[in-house]
Structures are given as structure tokens and as C-alpha cells.
Structure 1
């Protein structure tokens, strides 16, 4: 925890040798955590199913579409734990080897009354396959499964595997206008593949909208200031807007309950825009890298139909929302000389802006700490990658030049969840999904040898669900004396006063 919370570790403002050491230490701790998780699963699952959980659990890098051990399993179970105090609809994405097919065991799922559904098997894009670790295997597809997981509960999903070759067809790239939709949104792209509008179905309103990628060129200093961009400082050349990256190819893909737009900008930028069944958000999943030198790479979400009058909100360590006003600092007279960098703020879980006249809110939940702001009205900009070869001369004496595990340059993959809603609905969305982004489900796989699946019903730590505004922070055993166990139990009300008409109210919970 000390390493994870150190201000120079989480921000990257350390020499590369220190960062490499921190990564190695965290990897070692991660392995210890996996072993402890196995012990926990053994204790809970064997009580629930009367099965000896002797097979080791496999933890995979699913964010990189990589899980090599699955290629050798005839049958396996995905064991999922939801650490959040609210229910989570998880869209599980399982890497599939090109010489196999994988299917959810529907009969067992129905027998145990598990709320899960197999959606589709889709091809991975060539851009995702360029991620260094994904290049090492033949997992060219992903199986998509939707599963609803109650709060603080375990689920085990059984899968079967067939050894047969799957032909991966080339992507059907198009130059035709298309759209994707679910119960809440319709997202439309033009003939170039750029989003041109989002329809809010709940209020029957069409919003002019655009999302793009762009980059600033890092400054090495000028006549106004010798300060260069670097590890500590974001300082682009001049005051011009960032240069946009154009889309080269795109296509729309539609499965029942799962629709997406795939965009290829260049050999180092790829994005998938998804609408999932009944989802309150639009998912933007991007893969960026390897960057050229002295590039500060951003994504921008903007609408000419929204006016936030220079006001936007960023979270404070995932808790209170901090009001920000463009080109202004409270407490002293401020002269803005850096219109982009001067309006950047830290985002831990997200950023939002409100058009109070129309009662509309644009909310974005991030999957990691990033920097961002509203550089002009109706727009939110978030930085997602940097590669700067100048030293900002603030103590580290190194440029920001992460090479990645293959030493060719860092490739990153991440996602943003965007919601366009009425303001009060937007607050509910932001609070719930910011919580889910921090308390992500823990997923492990178990080889079901000898046709021995984990036949057990979902198991929960809770007798009943908590009020929707309550989150459990800590359940920690402290001492045990005279057969009396003392436990530290902490809960939080994660809405601010007057933030929501009903969810900001005081609630009581019963602890048995």
C-alpha cells in the first residue's frame, strides 16, 4: 500500500529504475494476493458446493485480451467476486484461441438460477493484437458473456471448450453512415466514421456530438519561459488547439444486446465504441501507442448543443466533487498564459459538466487517474498518454520515455464511460459507476478436470442488499480475546448533501 500510494509512484514522477523496482515489488505482492484469494475461494466455495477446490486458480490479464492457460482446458469455470456494495452487470470478455471454441454451459447456469447470458464470439482487431503480450499467443477472438453479480458475492460460470479451428475473417471496413443503439441511446457516425450525434431516447432529444483524438507537441521552452514539458509539467508548444488524428477505417458490428463501432485512426490509435444491452452509458475503449516523440495525446468529448459557462466538476480522490471554473483561481488575481495546461485538473474517477438551462449533464467515468478539463464550452478533454523526451529540470533528471515490456514504446489500453442525461440522473450514474470503477470484480479461472464443474449457487456476504447510497469500506478483524472477535466495520454514504433529491437523504442500516 505504501508503494501504491506514494505520490511519485502513482504519478510516474520517478526515475525509470525506481518505477521498474516498484512494478516488480507490486507484481510480487500481486502473486501473494492471488494465493490469499485462492485460500478464500477454497474456504467459501467448498462450503457451498462440497467440492474440493484442489485445482489452482488462474488469474489472467484480460485487459490485454490474454489468457494462455485457457487454450489447454477442455472445461473450466470463471469464478467472479464482486467486492462492491452495489450490484454489478459485468460484461465478461474471455480470450478464445484460434484452434478452439468456447461456450457457456447453459444447462448448468439455468439449473443454478445464475443470471448470465452468452452474447457472441467476436474477432479482436489487429490493433489489440499488437499489444506486446497479445502477440505471444493465438487468441484472436473474445467470447462475450453478460452476468449480473449481486453485491459482495461470488459467482461461478461453467464453460465448455471444443477443439476446432476458427477462421478469422478480415474486418468488414466500410465508408457508409451507420448507427448503434440500445434502450437509452442511438449513436450515429458519418461516412468518415466520426460520431455526429447521440439521441437520448428517454427524453427524445438529439444532441450534436463529436469525440476525437488529438495531440499536443511538447514544449522544450520558449522566450516567455524556459520551462519545458516533462515528468512533472504539461506544457505544449504555443496556445493552439491540439492537432486531431483522422480516422482511416471504421465499421459497425451488431449482435443481440451488443453493438459497437470499430475505428482505426492510424497504426498506433484504435478505438471501439460500444452500446451494451440496457446500459446507461456509452463505452469508449481505446488502444494507443507506440507514440512518436514529444507527443501529449488526448481525447475530447464535445457538443455544440451544451453550454457549461466555463464550469465543470472533477472528483477529489473519488469522493467530493470539486467545482472548477475555466481560467480562474479563487483567492488571487490570475492571468492565464497556458489555456490548455492551465485548465487541467487531476481526475481520479471522472469529470462532468452541466447545462443547467437544459437540465442536461455530460458525465465521464475513467478507469484510472488521469488529467483533464473543459478547455472551452461544451467540451471535456482528457489526457490518456504521453511521451516526452525533454527533462523539465524539476529533480528527476530524466525524460518521460516509457518503453514498455518489448522496449519499443509503451502501448496502453483503457476505457471511458460516457453518459448524457438529466442532471439528477447524471449524478446517480456518476456516483454508482465511479464506485464500480474502483471496486472492480475479481475474476479467476479454474480447470474443471474429470468433468467436475463448480456446481454451486451464488454466495453472498449480505443477507439483503444495502440502501443504494451506502458502501461498505472495511470489514477487518482486529483482535480475538476470550473467543470474542473484534471487527472494524466501516460504511460510507457516498452522496453529498443536496446532490440528489432522494439518494442524498440520511438512511439507517441494520447490522446483525
Structure 2
């Protein structure tokens, strides 16, 4: 199903694939192609764990001379957030709601693998085929999957803002809750609006809260992400400031300690070990 919502400048595609038949003894991979007229010169960009976008050049590796034996599989990459391609005038961006494989096997074209069911082991150490099934009683059939992807076209240099802002909406959608109660009665007996942040403050457009967790010792673990990589956007890639006091207006902040991303080491201790080599 393809949707174009009023007031939105991107296309939403919802897909349902499966179960993939294998009665003929052959495994299958289901892919979709989105074709454009962009002259991309073998180049496209995929995200790395949903963060930085990395430049990919088809049939090429920066670290060694690649001998092309797998022209399709050798150019596939994991897509956690999105993939985009561009030429001198336009850029085409595509975002996903789940991890998929993707590539640009042909200039101006994006390929996504939506589903697959294989009957042979790929000889990479697991020693089993990728043949996932859903069993009810004694009947087993291949999985059926449902998902969405989104795409749009921008003037060159303008696509990053949509990729980052809408990508954040995909990653952290609103959580809807429902109750069987009269609306007026609910509003009269419950607090219907709340924000832990100072009402006069909002985070900068290029910052998102990734983790906000109260730990056992009374400390609060706060992870903030700068959504833009260097040079990705003329304005939003720049450093910015976050006012912690306004993030926690009802708390008294006694001390702020910068830690590793996993929050199990203080940054000062990490730097000491790095400088001493121990």
C-alpha cells in the first residue's frame, strides 16, 4: 500500500510479505526496487547503527583492491535507519522502520530486501539454513512479515534534516494508550498533561534524549545524542548546548559526571588509562 498524506512531503509504503513458498525446493529472497533518474556514479550512503551515514561505492573498498565475485551480495549493507543517493542536483532518501538489507546495484536505483527464506546453509559457521517458520499445532509455514519504508526527494544538501527528524519519529513514535471511560470523567479525575522539562524550554532541534533512567543509587543516567554528523547540514551539524537545569526543573543537580557510552566508566578514568597505555 502506498500512501501520501496531506501536509507531508514523503511517501509511505506499507508491505506484507509471506509466507514465501518453497514447495519447488528453492529458497527465495523478496526485494523491492525504487528507480530514479539520478546519476549516482556507483555511489550511495548507508547508516552505521542508525548514526553516521557512510559513503559506499559499488564494487569498491577503500582499504584493499576488491576482486568482485559477488556483484549483488558483495554490495549489500545493513540498513537500520536509511539509505540515500544523490547527484549534483537532487538527493533521494529512504528510511526504514526495521533493519533490512539494502544497496544500489544499479545507478539511480535503491534495492531493499524485504524478506527471505532459504533452504541451504550459507557456509558461514551457523550450519543451518535461514528457514524460519511459524508453527500452529502440527502445521508449519514460513513467516509473514509486515513493515513500512518511507522516501522523498530533496534538493542536494537539504535531505539530512528530513532523514534525522523523521528518522527520530520512526525510532521513538508516540505511545498511545486507551481506556474504557467517559472522556469528561477521565479528564476530571486524572492529570492529562505533563512534562518533566521546564515548560519554557525545549531541546535544540539537533539533539535527542536517548536514555533517561534513574539508577539504584539515586543517580540519573542521561544519554543525549547529537543527531547530525559533521558537515551533514549547514546549520544543524554545528555544536549546541543543553541546559540541564531546565531539563530537571524539579531536581537539584549536585554533580555531573561524563562517562563512557555504556556508563560503566568515568571519562577521566578512561583518559588516564589511554595516556598511560594500561
TM score, norm. by length of structure 1: 0.44
RMSD: 1.9
Number of residue pairs the alignment of both structures matches: 234
| TM-aligned CA deviation for residue 450 of structure 1 | 10
CA contact (8 A) 1:312 1:325 kept: yes
**Alignment partners' CA distance in 2, 1:310 and 1:429:** 23
Deviations 1:381-427 (A, max 9, x none): 01010011112233333222222254222111101010111133211
Task: Describe the superposition over 1:266-290 as per-residue Cα deviations: whole angstroms up to 9, x where unpaired.
Answer: xxxxxx1001121131001011111
Does 1:383 find its partner at 2:96?
Answer: no
Q: Provide the rounded CA distance (Å) in 1 between the counterparts of 2:227 and 2:212.
A: 17
Q: Choose from 128, 142, 149 the match for 1:416.
A: 149
The runs of 5 or more residues in structure 1 that have no matched partner are 1-271
Structure 1 residue 479: Cα displacement: 5.0
Q: 1:425 aligns with which of 158, 169, 190?
A: 158
**What is the DSSP-based 3-state SS (H/G/I as helix, E as strand, rest coil) of the residue aligned with 1:298?**
strand
Structure 2 residues not aligned, in runs of 5+: 246-278
Aligned equivalent of 1:404, options 134, 140, 153: 134
Structure 2 match to 1:292: 21
Q: Sort the Cα spacing of 1:490 and 1:397 in 2 relative to 1 into closer, same or farther, 3 A.
A: closer
**1:141-160 correspondence runs (5 A):** none
Closer, same or farther: CA 274–477 of 1 in aligned 2, 3 Å: same
What is aligned with 1:352? 84
Please give the alpha-carbon distance, in whole angstroms, between the structure 1 residues aligned to 2:220 and 2:41: 48
| TM-score, normalised by the number of residues in structure 2 | 0.78
Q: Is the aligned partner of 1:279 residue 2:14?
A: no
Q: Secondary structure at the match of 1:312?
A: strand
Contact 1:479–1:487 (Cα < 8 Å) also in 2: no
Bigger strand share: 1
Match of 1:317 among 35, 38, 49: 49
Hey, what's the Cα distance between the residues in 1 that align with 2:5 and 2:135? Answer: 32
> Residue 36 of structure 1 corresponds to which residue in structure 2?
none
Q: Distance in 2 between matches of 1:450 and 1:496?
A: 44
Does residue 501 in structure 1 map to residue 218 in structure 2?
A: no
Judging changes above 3 Å, is the alpha-carbon distance between structure 1 residues 347 and 450 closer, same or farther for their aligned structure 2 residues? closer
Distance 1:295 1:473, change over 3 A: same
> Which among 188, 191, 214 is matched to residue 477 of structure 1?
214
Determine if the alignment matches structure 1 residue 467 to structure 2 residue 204: yes
